[in-house]
Amino acid sequence: MASTAAPGSSTDRWSAELRAHGRRVTKQRLAVLDAVEHSPHAVADDVAAAVRTQLPGISLQSVYVILSDLTDTGMIRRFEPPNSPARYETRVNDNHHHAVCTGCGKIEDVDCAVGHSPCLTPSDSHGMSIQIAEVLYRGLCADCAAKG
Ligand SMILES: [Zn+2]
Ligand SMILES: [Zn+2]
Ligand SMILES: [Zn+2]
């Protein structure tokens, strides 16, 4: 029963979501979702390395294509911290923000204090209907602060 790494319940959930977004359920897509779910805020290279433990032959390019497609469906959220490649996570649709340590680059999730998007009201919307306010917290983590 426990011969494979991916737990059945998670695979079933991802399969249902893929079908709901009109995507075929492939082992490549499932492996990418599994990898991103288990290491939130991973960069594409790290996702590819994790996927290769299950699918040794998959190319980095294929992983990029799948990440980009799944980001389009909304199943994966992509964000780009300053001075870093894009990061991916499966925590979507909750308008959470990120806190980035300017010392070591560590990234933490921060629940949105308001809980819906946009959580900041622009002083002047210039006639646009504003949908998202991108909030990024930057500072020093406790470890970096302790090092002075
Ligand atoms: Zn730090
Ligand atoms: Zn996050
Ligand atoms: Zn917020």
pLDDT of residue 8: 59
Residue 33: inside a domain, yes or no? Answer: yes
Ligand showing the shortest atom-to-Cα distance for residue 98 = 2
* Same-domain status, 24 and 83: yes
Distance 132 CA to ligand 1 centre (A): 27
pTM, to two decimals:
0.86
Q: Is 112 annotated as a binding residue?
A: no
* Same-domain status, 81 and 13: yes
Distance 75 CA to ligand 1 centre (A): 29
Distance 137 CA to ligand 2 centre (A): 12
* Same-domain status, 39 and 99: no
CB-facing half-sphere around the CA of 17: CA atoms within 13 A:
17
Parent domain of 41: 9-87
Ligand showing the shortest atom-to-Cα distance for residue 113 = 3
Cα–Cα nearest to 105, from 55, 143, 146: 143
* Same-domain status, 80 and 102: no
Query: What CATH number is attached to the domain comprising 98?
Result: 3.30.1490.190
72-97 pLDDT, tens digit each: 999 999 999 988 899 999 999 999 99
* Same-domain status, 56 and 118: no
Residue 54: inside a domain, yes or no? Answer: yes
* Same-domain status, 69 and 125: no
Distance 17 CA to ligand 2 centre (A): 20
Q: Is 119 annotated as a binding residue?
A: no
* Same-domain status, 72 and 43: yes
SS3 content of the chain, % helix, strand, coil (to 5): 35, 15, 50
Residue 13: inside a domain, yes or no? Answer: yes
Distance 13 CA to ligand 2 centre (A): 20
At 9, the pLDDT band (50, 70, 90 cuts) reads confident
58-72 pLDDT, tens digit each: 999 999 999 999 999
Q: Which of 47, 69, 87 is the last residue of a domain?
A: 87
Distance 131 CA to ligand 2 centre (A): 19
Q: Which of 87, 116, 134 is the last residue of a domain?
A: 87
In the chain, which ranges are E strands? 42-43, 77-79, 87-89, 97-101, 107-110, 136-139
Ligand showing the shortest atom-to-Cα distance for residue 95 = 3
Distance 94 CA to ligand 3 centre (A): 9
Residue 4: inside a domain, yes or no? Answer: no
